[in-house]
Amino acid sequence: MPELPEVETVIAGLKPQITGAKLVSVSNSGKNLRYPLPNFSILLQQHIQSVERRAKYLLFHFENGQTLIWHLGMTGQFHVLAQHQAKTKHEHVTLAFTDGNTLRYRDTRRFGYAGLCRTNDLDQHPWFAKLGVEPLLDDFSDDYLQNILKTRKTSIKQAIMDNHVVVGVGNIYASESLFRAGINPTQVANSLKPKQYALLVQHIKTVLAEAIEAGGSTISDFVKADGKPGYFAHSFQVYGRDKQPCLVCKKPIEKIVLGGRASFFCPHCQPFK
């Protein structure tokens, strides 16, 4: 599933191509995504003012004060193509603009979904109302993390993957951040020392920033808006490296399951402290 760096990468590719574009028509395949598609008519003849991200959602802000919200699900992809280019398999929504371009949404498994909301009401929308802070902003600090986890008895890995705590730290980036911070993923969330919270916040920010710079990770069907893969997977130090030697100490990487998700770590470099 595309995570925060992947969504940020998609947005970076879309911004220069569709910002300022005027929407003239919307067509679809007749198949619903995870939820029924919204009524796009309120967006017709409106310009896209900006494209942003909140958590794993893409936000298309229109000049009439409406925002089109989109989640990519497991296999969703956006591509900007000329109107004359033929439709391809699994292409479910096409937004056409006056400049002759179209924004095409493809989704093999149709787990993605879209919605509409007044831009000024986004914080109260059910999809956003209970979300935690953005990890790349100053609001996400060691003091914040220590305070919000002070009563949490779950594992630290599950805690930082909880979108009510902090958004966008998916399975890959949680594993990589914990490794860099030297924290065992099974350690109880409220048992970390102040220095560990500080290290973890620092490495979450660094790992996500590096992943964005690399264009995300090519996992399953993820590609950038230009159709090219992301390259952060080449930097994985523990994720997906079960039984392979640790790049630091050469001891074998271990794989366990936490909260139903595969977790990779080095017992030697990530001991309990």
Asked about 261 being catalytic, the answer comes back as: yes
Asked about 56 being catalytic, the answer comes back as: yes
| Helix (H), strand (E), coil (C) string for the chain | CCCHHHHHHHHHHHHHHHCCCEEEEEEECCCCCCCCCCCHHHHCCCEEEEEEEECCEEEEEECCCEEEEEECCCCEEEEEEECCCCCCCCEEEEEEECCCEEEEEEECCCCCEEEEEEHHHHHHCCCCCCCCECCCCCCCCHHHHHHHCCCCCCEHHHHHCCCCCECCCCHHHHHHHHHHHCCCCCCEHHHCCHHHHHHHHHHHHHHHHHHHHCCCECCCCCCCCCCCCCEHHHHCCCCCCCCCECCCCCCECEEEEECCEEEEECCCCCCCC
Q: Which residue is catalytic, options 2, 5, 135, 185?
A: 2
Q: Which residue is catalytic, options 110, 134, 261, 267?
A: 261
Q: Which residue is catalytic, options 5, 8, 54, 56?
A: 56
Q: Which residue is catalytic, options 3, 8, 91, 176?
A: 3
Active site residue ranges: 2-3, 56, 261
